[in-house]
A and B are shown apart, each in its own frame.
Chain A
Amino acid sequence: MAAGVAAWLPFARAAAIGWMPVANLPMPVAPTEKNKRQDELIILNVSGRRFQTWRNTLDRYPDTLLGSSEKEFFYNEETREYFFDRDPDVFRSILNFYRTGKLHYPRYECISAYDEELAFFGIIPEIISDCCYEEYKDRKRENAERLMDDNEDNKDCKLPNMTFRETMWRAFENPHTSTMALVFYYVTGFFIAVSVITNVVETVPCGATPNQKDMPCGERYTEAFFCMDTACVMIFTVEYLMRLFAAPSRYRFIRSVMSIIDVVAILPYYIGLVMTNNEDVSGAFVTLRVFRVFRIFKFSRHSQGLRILGYTLKSCASELGFLLFSLTMAIIIFATVMFYAEKGSTSSKFTSIPASFWYTIVTMTTLGYGDMVPKTIAGKIFGSICSLSGVLVIALPVPVIVSNFSRIYHQNQRADKRRAQKKARLARMRISKTGSSSAFLHSKRNGLLNESLELTVRTGKTMSLLESQHHHLLHCLEKTTVRSYQLKGPTVGVGTGIIKNHEFMDEQLYEQSYLETALQSYPSRSPSLSSQGLTGTCCSRRAKKSSQLPNASAATSGLQELSAINIQCGDPPLSTSRSSLNMRPDDPPRLNCQSGQITTAIISIPTPPATTPDGDGHTLPNPSVQNIVKVSAL
Chain B
Amino acid sequence: SLCKKPEYVQGEIITNGSKRSLRARLMKLLPCSGAKKPAAQTQNSVEDELELSAVRHRPEGLEQLEAQTRFSRKELQILYRGFKNECPSGVVNEDTFKDIYSQFFPQGDASTYAHFLFNAFDTDHNGSVSFEDFVMGLSILLRGSVQEKLNWAFNLYDINKDGYITKEEMLDIMKAIYDMMGKCTYPILKEETPRQHVEIFFQKMDKNKDGVVTIDEFIDCCQNDENIMRSMQLFENVI
| Chain A neighbourhood of B237, CB < 8 A | 30, 32-33
Tell me, yes or no, whether B164 is within 8 Å of chain A by CB: no
Q: Given the interface contacts A1-B2, A5-B104, A555-B106, does A22 sit within 8 Å of B177 by beta carbon?
A: yes
Q: Does A477 contact B (CB under 8 A)?
A: yes
Evaluate contact between B239 and A477: CB separation under 8 angstroms.
no
Within 8 A of A (CB), among B97-124: 99-109, 111, 116-117, 120
Q: Which residues from B are CB-within-8-Å of A27? A: 227, 230-231, 234
In the complex, the answer to whether B189 meets A483 with C-beta atoms within 8 Å is yes
User: A297 at interface (Cβ–Cβ under 8 A)?
Assistant: no
Given contacts A10-B238, A33-B237, contact A20 B153 (CB under 8 A): yes
B218 touches A21 (CB 8 A): yes
A298 within 8 A of B: no
Residue in A14, A24, A477, A562 whose beta carbon sits within 8 Å of that of B181 in the complex: A477
Digit string of A536-578 for contact with B (CB within 8 Å is 1, else 0)?
0101010001000111001101110111000000000000000
Give the residues in chain A near B201, CB-CB below 8 Å.
Answer: 22
Per the 8 Å Cβ criterion, residues 136-176 of B in contact with A are 137-138, 141-142, 149-150, 152-153, 156-157, 173-174
Least CB distance, A621 to chain B, in whole angstroms = 28
Q: Check if A13 sits within 8 Å of B185, measured CB to CB.
A: no
Given the complex of chains A and B, what is the CA–CA distance between A486 and B60 in angstroms?
A: 46
- In the complex, whether B68 has a CB less than 8 A from a CB of chain A is no
Neighbouring A residues of B189 by C-beta, 8 Å: 483
Query: When the two chains form their complex, are residues A7 and B184 in contact, meaning their CB atoms are under 8 A apart?
Result: no
Shortest Cβ distance from residue B160 to the other chain A in the assembled complex, whole angstroms: 17
Question: Is the C-beta of A272 less than 8 angstroms from some C-beta in chain B?
Answer: no
A457 interface residue, CB < 8 Å from B?
Answer: no
Is B231 a contact partner of A7 (Cβ separation < 8 A)?
Answer: no
User: What 1/0 mask marks residues of chain A from 20 to 37 whose CB sits below 8 Å from any chain B CB?
Assistant: 111111110010110000
B107, B189, B201, B232: residue with the most chain A Cβ atoms closer than 10 Å: B107
In contact, A21 and B228 (Cβ under 8 angstroms): yes
Q: Which residues of B contact A555 (CB under 8 A)?
A: 102, 106-109
Q: Is the CB of A15 within 8 A of B102?
A: no
Query: B172-223: which have CB < 8 Å to A?
Result: 173-174, 177-178, 180-187, 189, 197, 200-201, 218, 222
Q: Is the CB of A21 within 8 A of B150?
A: yes
Contacts of B230 in A (CB 8 A): 26-27
Per-residue 0/1 for A477-509: is the Cβ within 8 Å of any B Cβ (1 yes, 0 no)? 110110111101000000000000000000000
Q: How far is the CB of A31 from chain B (nearest CB, A)?
A: 10
* Contact among A10, A12, A486, A554 for B186, CB-based, below 8 A: A486
User: Which residue of chain B has its CB nearest to the CB of A547?
Assistant: B184
Q: Say which one of B11-19, B34-42, B49-57, B77-85 lies at the interface with A.
A: B77-85
B109 contact set on A, CB distance < 8 A: 551, 554-555
Decide yes or no whether A39 CB sits under 8 A from chain B.
yes
Query: Which one of A3, A32, A470 contacts B104 once the chains associate, using CB atoms below 8 Å?
Result: A470
**Bound-state Cα–Cα, A545 to B106, Å:** 18
Q: Is B235 a contact of A13 with CB atoms below 8 Å?
A: yes
Q: Is the CB of B103 within 8 A of A562?
A: yes
Taking a contact as CB atoms under 8 Å apart, the answer to whether B107 and A485 are in contact is yes
Q: Which residue of B lies closest to A1 (CB)?
A: B2
The residue that A488 contacts in the complex, of B141, B184, B222, with Cβ under 8 A, is: B184
| Distance of A515 from chain B, by nearest CB (Å) | 6
Q: B137, B138, B182 — which one has the most chain A CB atoms within 10 A of its CB?
A: B182
Residues of A contacting B200 in the complex (Cβ-Cβ under 8 angstroms): 24
B104 touching A473, Cβ below 8 Å: yes
Contact with B along A353-373 (1 / 0, CB 8 A): 000000000000000000000
A486 to B185, CA, bound (A): 5
* Contact (A25, B101) CB under 8 Å given A4-B86, A481-B178: no
Q: Which residues of B contact A537 (CB under 8 A)?
A: 187
Beyond A18-B117, A485-B186, A541-B186, is A558–B99 a contact (Cβ under 8 Å)? yes
- Asked if B1 is at the interface of the complex by the 8 Å CB criterion, the answer is yes
Chain B positions within 8 Å of A270 at CB level:
none
Q: When the two chains form their complex, are residues B106 and A549 in contact, meaning their CB atoms are under 8 A apart?
A: yes
Q: A481 touching B177 by the CB < 8 A rule?
A: yes
* Interface contact A12-B183, CB-CB below 8 Å: no
Name A541's closest neighbour in chain B (CB-CB): B186
Q: Are B106 and A559 in contact (CB under 8 A)?
A: yes
Chain A contact surface mostly: helix
Contacts of A32 in B (CB 8 A): 237
* A164 interface residue (CB < 8 Å to B): no
Q: Is the CB of B107 within 8 A of A17?
A: no
A562 to B105, CA, bound (A): 10
Q: Does B74 contact A (CB under 8 A)?
A: yes
Assuming the contacts A7-B86, A39-B78, A485-B186, asked whether A18 and B103 have C-beta atoms less than 8 A apart, the reply is no
Given contacts A17-B149, A562-B103, contact A38 B74 (CB under 8 A): yes
Which residue of chain A is the closest to B114 with respect to CB atoms? Answer: A15
Distance in angstroms between the alpha carbons of A141 and B127 in the assembled complex = 49
- Complexed CA–CA distance, A514 and B229 (Å): 33
A8 contacts B by Cβ under 8 Å: yes
A323 within 8 A of B: no
- Does B234 contact A30, Cβ atoms closer than 8 Å? yes
Q: CA of A33 to CA of B236 in the docked complex: distance in angstroms?
A: 12
Rounded to whole angstroms, the CA-CA distance of A474 and B110 in the bound complex is 13
Task: Known contacts A17-B235, A18-B156, A30-B235; decide if A554 and B111 are in contact (CB<8 Å).
Answer: yes
Structural contact, A8 and B100, CB atoms closer than 8 A: yes
Say yes or no: is A108 at the interface (Cβ < 8 Å to chain B): no
Does the CB pair B107–A15 fall under 8 Å? no
Q: Does A19 contact B (CB under 8 A)?
A: yes
Task: Tell me which residues across on chain A come within 8 A of B103, comparing CB atoms.
Answer: 4-5, 8, 558, 561-562
A484: chain B residues at CB < 8 Å are 185-186
* B186 lies within 8 A of A527 (CB): yes
* Chain A residues with CB below 8 A from B197, complex form: 22, 481
Chain A 45-92 interface residues, beta-carbon cutoff 8 Å to B: 54, 56
Cβ contacts under 8 Å, B100 to chain A: 4, 8, 11-12
Picked from B111, B218, B231, the residue with its CB within 8 Å of the CB of A20 is B231
- Asked if residues A12 and B101 are in contact (CB atoms below 8 Å), the reply is yes
Q: State the Cβ distance, B99 to closest chain A Cβ, in Å.
A: 7
Contact A17 B153, CB 8 Å, known A30-B234, A39-B78, A477-B180: yes
**Chain A residues whose CB sits within 8 angstroms of the CB of B85 once the complex forms:** 3, 7
B1 touches A1 (CB 8 A): yes
Check A378 for interface membership: any CB of B closer than 8 A.
Answer: no
A515-B106 in contact given A18-B117, A25-B227 (Cβ < 8 Å) = yes
Contact indicator per residue, chain A 371-407, by CB within 8 Å of chain B (1) or not (0): 0000000000000000000000000000000000000
Partner of A483, one of B74, B185, B222, B239: B185
CB distance from B201 to the nearest CB of A (A): 6
Cβ of A204: which chain B residues have Cβ within 8 Å of it? none
By the criterion CB–CB under 8 Å, are B99 and A557 in contact?
yes
Neighbouring A residues of B180 by C-beta, 8 Å: 477
Chain B CB within 8 A of A290 CB: no
Are A485 and B181 interface neighbours, CB within 8 A? yes
Question: B82, B178, B227, B237 — which one has the most chain A CB atoms within 10 A of its CB?
Answer: B82
7 CB-based A-B contacts, threshold 8 Å = A5-B103, A14-B141, A15-B141, A23-B227, A25-B227, A484-B185, A514-B182
Q: Which 10 A-B pairs have the closest CB atoms?
A: A550-B183, A7-B82, A14-B141, A486-B184, A558-B102, A483-B185, A27-B231, A486-B186, A20-B231, A558-B103
List 5 additional contacts besides A54-B81, A514-B182; criterion CB under 8 Å.
A17-B149, A18-B152, A473-B104, A514-B184, A558-B106
B residues near A (Cβ < 8 Å) are 1-2, 74, 78-79, 81-83, 85-86, 99-109, 111, 116-117, 120, 134, 137-138, 141-142, 149-150, 152-153, 156-157, 173-174, 177-178, 180-187, 189, 197, 200-201, 218, 222, 227-228, 230-232, 234-235, 237-239
B-contacting residues of A (Cβ < 8 Å)? Answer: 1, 3-5, 7-27, 30, 32-33, 38-39, 54, 56, 469-470, 473-474, 476-478, 480-481, 483-486, 488, 514-515, 527, 537, 539, 541, 545, 549-551, 554-555, 557-559, 561-563
